[in-house]
Amino acid sequence: VIAEKKMMPFLCRHVRGFCATITAVRESDEQKGTHGMTTARMIPDEEATGLVREVYDDIKATKGIDFVPNIWRALAVNPEHLSATWFKLKQTMAAGALDPLTKELIAIAVSATNGCRYCINSHTGAAVKLGMDTRMFSELLAVVDVFNGTNRLADAYQVEPDAYPEVPPPK
Amino acid sequence: VIAEKKMMPFLCRHVRGFCATITAVRESDEQKGTHGMTTARMIPDEEATGLVREVYDDIKATKGIDFVPNIWRALAVNPEHLSATWFKLKQTMAAGALDPLTKELIAIAVSATNGCRYCINSHTGAAVKLGMDTRMFSELLAVVDVFNGTNRLADAYQVEPDAYPEVPPPK
Amino acid sequence: VIAEKKMMPFLCRHVRGFCATITAVRESDEQKGTHGMTTARMIPDEEATGLVREVYDDIKATKGIDFVPNIWRALAVNPEHLSATWFKLKQTMAAGALDPLTKELIAIAVSATNGCRYCINSHTGAAVKLGMDTRMFSELLAVVDVFNGTNRLADAYQVEPDAYPEVPPPK
Amino acid sequence: VIAEKKMMPFLCRHVRGFCATITAVRESDEQKGTHGMTTARMIPDEEATGLVREVYDDIKATKGIDFVPNIWRALAVNPEHLSATWFKLKQTMAAGALDPLTKELIAIAVSATNGCRYCINSHTGAAVKLGMDTRMFSELLAVVDVFNGTNRLADAYQVEPDAYPEVPPPK
Amino acid sequence: VIAEKKMMPFLCRHVRGFCATITAVRESDEQKGTHGMTTARMIPDEEATGLVREVYDDIKATKGIDFVPNIWRALAVNPEHLSATWFKLKQTMAAGALDPLTKELIAIAVSATNGCRYCINSHTGAAVKLGMDTRMFSELLAVVDVFNGTNRLADAYQVEPDAYPEVPPPK
Amino acid sequence: VIAEKKMMPFLCRHVRGFCATITAVRESDEQKGTHGMTTARMIPDEEATGLVREVYDDIKATKGIDFVPNIWRALAVNPEHLSATWFKLKQTMAAGALDPLTKELIAIAVSATNGCRYCINSHTGAAVKLGMDTRMFSELLAVVDVFNGTNRLADAYQVEPDAYPEVPPPK
């Protein structure tokens, strides 16, 4: 994809008919729901009915976007799983005792710790929309760096906890 | 340790001399720096000299505590590593574009994703000191739950990113 | 806990009043919902109301047990997260294209790969109820062993996929 | 590779001589065993002798395929490791108390939890050959999703096991 | 277990008959192969026959010890898996292009990165036998610390490799 | 990138002006510090001032290279984090009780266990410079394979440690 992104402008300029063909095939891909190389066919927006339709519409309305991101189109192969996952995520990410940006920062921390490429890009994009700049991003990643390191030190030195705190209820 | 914590009051009440002995041995342990079952001997506060002394004093001053937590006493076997780790962590956790509580929440998210028992207890305690209550804690863990799950979905369905965001510089 | 489990019979036999005291304190713990050393107070069955009550009752009815397992009592600090997590899990583990035992085997595989002690014990117990014996368990773990090993070989040798399969729809 | 797969048909149609050249170079690559960008040279089928020959032949016979997958050609740089790994894997994946499809589902669960791209594609392909459809695949991944999430909750809330089951021997 | 190890001397001194009872029960446990709280019964040395016997004898001879460590007694529930695992491990850890101590250091690095308590203790013990001191151990763990941290930075910043090295054959 | 590397020679030969354009754009990219698809802009060598300048110069001098690798240019968005990370890493990887090659092998083991593509390539390259050949590399990876597998067995069988070693101080 990286190669594609960088080569496209050159190829379009230098290979006759290249871009027209690419565009045509992409639209065709979109119609068939086959986009990229997922392990299961992604359900395109046009084919969505019933529970999938309801979730797709709610995703677009909630996020204020006019397309359904790839991850949800992949999950749509199992409408019940799609629905339970989307509505739990939506409820989890809504403003509460923590604000939405803080929640996106936590989502990036988890995704970075797991090395999930799709998720890192997706949540970095979402956090930018909510106001994250490079200073905040780099401070977040510095924390991710430090504790991925020291977590393994605590395990390797087999250090017992100094205390067992119990988190207090809200005042 | 769990058993110990629960049994202690009973044993002290029911076994003559038990608590006096325990207390004596603990103090002795502390003097020798052998506490728990770490894979390397922890350097006790009394033995700290040079670089280790400097770090121990800075830890106590920075955190406003009168003891050196186990993890740092374990790292002290290698003074250079102790020093580089402590000063990098101190710098990383200081207030900046993100506030200290947000940074502790991120530290908990990383430690939970890695399943590090010492670190979960340590950072939960630190976050409580900074004002975290059960509502904030449970919302943090809900985010950790959701994205540890969906990270693996994105990988398993082999979903390509929808976009490659670039985080903007601070305004 | 291990020490506790092994010592209890001896202590009860040898320390006068030990077992009576333990039993009394346990019942008191249970009433207060403080059991073990969780990072947040677990909500005891007696205090459950509203959404928590509904979930607790459904857990007991669905699993055919007369107590609420620790994990759910911990999640109850956040009723919405408890509810979304329980109903998604219940739906996910129900018989479908895969039978419940196969799903429990997969849950053990995930929990072992993550090294989650509570989860390994919990799902091993659930799989035993559904008929898992040591032959099945050891074959499951042999698969977990082999692919945790070879996963890292594929990453380390940086081997490109031989093919990009697309899973077909049900016939 | 993704870009390659999608661009090839266009390039072949639009750039004169492109496909003939590609094909020639590929065959040449294959002869030299240099395929892709692995960190060690993959041993091509033609060069396999001794223990490597024996393993390559057994892989093709066991799997009913006429080529040696990339992972095994990478391991062949160390014939003893190749042999021990292949024969242990073959024995592990053979029908036993669990059938081969169930074992492939477990292999996918492990590979998804580890985020191993080669392995996810490889085992998804193998499971499809054994009958896995999108309904089974999506139910498998729903279980992977749920327990990667709840594993971290059990760790973060520091929940003690409710029981320590012992798996019974086969009847 | 930690509590047990620390309490034992006190209990033996203060609770009449305690140590005699403990000792008797332990010997009985050992005979039955039930030691600790494993999820499957460990096969005791006395019951080992056939393939299990062969592996148990080879473990004791290879390691120069007079008992079979817990992990192998747990694996013995599946003799074929026990055998394939032991002989692959034995071959892997033998002196080759890397010496046995270097291999144990790598085993500790992997076990620390995975947070496996049994394995950290087991390989730390093995490395000590081969000459590892606290200076070597702490330098090993410093490397484990640094790269568990920076691995996540490379993933989170989505940095492309600077080069794709191919490891050369031995001279 | 893989596709790019393989296609370039063909495209240069077959598409008029292709290579000249590519080269021009690359140089332009380099000047702007935008290389690849990182989540934050990489600071190019030309823009480095102050603390970043100091670190960039030390990286080039220490490694004996004439460019700044991508990971450091990404970290430069936060000069304090860049500096603390580089100087800790430099100190950690210097010859000590363990030689630099052994330390690079450990770095590969960690990176493979975490599945970090950038890091695997980077440390494999560094180890090759220090003398690693395919025999050493494959023995390293065999150890990584075996213990990523058995780590999960120890966790899944819930095996208690046989001993709690304490690493001795240097003689």
Distance from CA of B158 to the nearest CA of D (A): 8
Residue range F68-94: mean pLDDT, rounded: 98
Please give the pLDDT value at position F19.
52
* Helix/strand/coil for A85: helix
pLDDT-derived band at C110 (thresholds 50, 70, 90) equals very high
Residues 6+ apart with CB under 8 A from E61: none
* Helix/strand/coil for C120: helix
Touching partners of C (3+ C-beta pairs < 8 Å) = A, B, D, E, F
pLDDT at C103 over 80: yes
pLDDT at B140 over 80: yes
pLDDT at F82 over 80: yes
pLDDT digits (tens, 9 = 90+) for B34-80: 445 799 999 999 999 999 999 999 999 999 999 999 999 999 999 99
* Helix/strand/coil for A104: helix
pLDDT at C82 over 90: yes
Residue range F140-166: mean pLDDT, rounded: 95
What is the residue-level pLDDT of chain A in tens, covering all 171 positions? 234 444 555 455 545 455 554 454 444 444 444 445 799 999 999 999 999 999 999 999 999 999 999 999 999 999 999 999 999 999 999 999 999 999 999 999 999 999 999 999 999 999 999 999 999 999 999 999 999 999 999 999 999 888 889 999 998
**Is residue C53 within 8 Å of residue C83, measured between CB atoms?**
no
Select from F40, F88, F165 the Cβ nearest to the Cβ of B84: F88
Locate the DSSP E strands across chain E: none
pLDDT-derived band at F9 (thresholds 50, 70, 90) equals low
* Helix/strand/coil for E115: coil
- Chain C residues with CB inside 8 Å of F115's CB? 151-152, 155
Please give the pLDDT value at position A80.
98
Distance (Å, whole) CA A167 – CA B141: 13
- Quick one: CA dihedral E149, E155, E156, E161, positive or negative? positive
- F138 to chain D, any CB pair closer than 8 A? The answer is yes
Q: How many CB atoms lie within 10 A of CB D31?
A: 12
Give one DSSP letter per residue of chain F, joined into a string. Answer: -HHHHHHHHHHHHHSTTHHHHHHHHHHHHHHHT--TT-SBPPPPGGG--HHHHHHHHHHHHHHT-SS--HHHHHHTTSHHHHHHHHHHHHHHHSSSSS-HHHHHHHHHHHHHHHT-HHHHHHHHHHHHHTT--HHHHHHHHHHHHHHHHHHHHHHHTTPPPS----BPPP-
Please give the pLDDT value at position A162.
87
Report the Cα–Cα distance between both ends of chain B, in Å, rounded: 50
In chain E, % of residues over pLDDT 90: 74
- B150 to chain D, any CB pair closer than 8 A? The answer is yes
Please give the pLDDT value at position E29.
46
pLDDT-derived band at F11 (thresholds 50, 70, 90) equals low
CB distance F138–D81 less than 8 Å?
Answer: yes
pLDDT digits (tens, 9 = 90+) for F33-44: 444 579 999 999
Report the length, in residues, of chain A: 171
CB distance A18–D10 less than 8 Å?
Answer: yes
ipTM: 0.83
Q: Could you identify the residue written with the tokens 């970090």?
A: F116
What residues in chain D have per-residue pLDDT under 50? 1-6, 10, 13-14, 16, 18, 21-35
Please give the pLDDT value at position D111.
98
pLDDT at C134 over 70: yes
Q: Per the structure block, which two tokens stand in for D55?
A: 């393993």
Select from E108, E141, E156 the Cβ nearest to the Cβ of A141: E156
Torsion of CA D13, D14, D18, D19, to 10 degrees: -10
What b/e readout covers F150-171, taking b as 16+ CB neighbours within 10 angstroms? Answer: bbbbbbbbbbebbebbbbeeee
In chain C, % of residues over pLDDT 90: 74
- C21 to chain F, any CB pair closer than 8 A? The answer is no
Please give the pLDDT value at position D164.
86
CA C101, distance to chain mean position in Å, is 14
pLDDT-derived band at F3 (thresholds 50, 70, 90) equals very low
Treating both helix axes as pointing N-terminal to C-terminal, what angle do F134-156 and D79-93 enclose, rounded to 10 degrees? 30
Which of the two residues, A148 and C25, has the higher pLDDT score? A148
Q: What is the mean pLDDT of chain B?
A: 86
What amino acid occupies position D138?
Answer: S
CB distance E39–C13 less than 8 Å?
Answer: no
- C113 to chain F, any CB pair closer than 8 A? The answer is yes
Select from C2, C120, C153 the Cβ nearest to the Cβ of F141: C153
Give one DSSP letter per residue of C8-61, joined into a string. Answer: HHHHHHHSTTHHHHHHHHHHHHHHHT--TT-SBPPPPGGG--HHHHHHHHHHHH
pLDDT-derived band at B19 (thresholds 50, 70, 90) equals low
CB distance D155–B112 less than 8 Å?
Answer: yes
Distance from CA of A135 to the nearest CA of D (A): 28
pLDDT at C130 over 80: yes
What residues in chain E have per-residue pLDDT under 70? 1-36
CB distance A138–F75 less than 8 Å?
Answer: yes
Residues 6+ apart with CB under 8 A from F69: E162, F59, F122
Select from E155, E162, E167 the Cβ nearest to the Cβ of F122: E162
What b/e readout covers C92-127, taking b as 16+ CB neighbours within 10 angstroms? Answer: bbeebbbebbbbbbbbbbbbbbbbbbbbbbbbbbbb
